[in-house]
Amino acid sequence: MATSITRARFLKLLFNGAVFTSGMAAFGGGFDHLRSDRVGWVRLKTPSTQWRRHAGADPVLTRFFRDETTLNIDPVWYVADADNMDELRRYPLLFSQGVSFITSDVGRSNLAEYVRRGGFVLVDACHDPRVTPDFDQFLRDQIAFYALVLPEAQIVSLPPTHDVYRCHFQIPDGKPPHTFASNIFDPRKVRHGLYGVMLGSRMAGIISLCGWQCGWDHVTENPSAAPVGIEDVACMRMVVNIYIYAMMQGA
């Protein structure tokens, strides 16, 4: 099981050199022997039947983390149930198919408390129209959830100059990569960048309509055994940036 790790612990590892990325070279050396503190890639369990969609390919992402940083992320993925605060508090970042699916008072209260304590929630919409038939509505649903559950939060569009696009990998033109169902370009998606969930000056989450999980899964565009391609790498690079930015902000 992955070691429970707080954002503060992550920062301590960062400054000790245990977490090293090319974009953070000033913070220390790439001491691979310090990879003993293990962290995890964690999916937020919600009432939605889609909460674990593409999870079978998450080891592709965790392997990319290990190859491209010295972050000792566990090769398997973990689950944190929105209704279980003890599970949420173990991890500094949660990945979700959509927080708007959380409808219970307990789940909503838990997630609000998790975020207020310093947790980070990354939401990414699947590009399959059977899962996300209306991307604009998906975004509205996430914003409405935060307005109800975390009213002090502000949802802001992140500019192309934001550090999340360059804290490790340089994301071209500050535009997040998108995936498209059946490789058919969808202008409804491309016009959206990333949206930050802000608590004061701290970013507590990101809302994406990009379908990055679809990129590293190979479900729609490619056979499951296909090698990782350019699109997949671009998606994983963006997620690595977000993970590192979430952990190091305020350092």
Confirm if 125 and 210 have CB atoms less than 8 A apart. yes
Comparison of pLDDT for 12 and 78, the residue scoring more: 78
The DSSP annotation for 35-80 comes to TTS-EEEEEEE-SSTTTTTTGGGHHHHHHHHHHHS---EEEEEEEE
pLDDT at 61 over 50: yes
Number of helices and strands in the chain (H, E): 8, 7
pLDDT at 78 over 60: yes
CATH code of 7-248, in short, is 3.40.50.12140
Q: Please give the pLDDT value at position 100.
A: 95
Sign of the alpha-carbon torsion through 142, 147, 151, 154: positive
DSSP 3-state helix, strand, coil percentages of the chain (rounded to 5)? Answer: 40, 15, 40
Per-residue confidence at 47, pLDDT binned at 50, 70, 90? Answer: very high
N residues, the chain: 251
> Where does the chain show beta strands of DSSP type E?
39-45, 73-81, 93-96, 120-124, 154-157, 195-199, 202-208
Q: Please give the pLDDT value at position 211.
A: 87
Tell me how crowded residue 185 is: count the other CB atoms within 10 A of its CB: 8
Q: Please give the pLDDT value at position 251.
A: 52
Break the chain into its structural domains and give their ranges. 7-248
Q: Please give the pLDDT value at position 11.
A: 46
pTM, entire model: 0.82
Q: Please give the pLDDT value at position 33.
A: 30
| DSSP category for residue 224 | T
Per-residue confidence at 227, pLDDT binned at 50, 70, 90? Answer: very low
Q: Please give the pLDDT value at position 250.
A: 61
Over residues 214-232, mean pLDDT: 53
> Where does 70-191 show beta strands of DSSP type E?
73-81, 93-96, 120-124, 154-157
Percent of the chain clearing pLDDT 70 (strictly above): 78
Measured distance CA(57)–CA(54) in Å, rounded = 6
Per-residue confidence at 127, pLDDT binned at 50, 70, 90? Answer: confident
User: Which of 73-87, 95-109, 140-154, 226-240 bottoms out in mean pLDDT, i.e. has the lowest?
Assistant: 226-240
Q: Please give the pLDDT value at position 128.
A: 82
pLDDT at 165 over 50: yes
Measured distance CA(176)–CA(186) in Å, rounded = 14
Confirm if 70 and 231 have CB atoms less than 8 A apart. no
Q: Please give the pLDDT value at position 217.
A: 65
Longest dimension (CA), the chain: 46
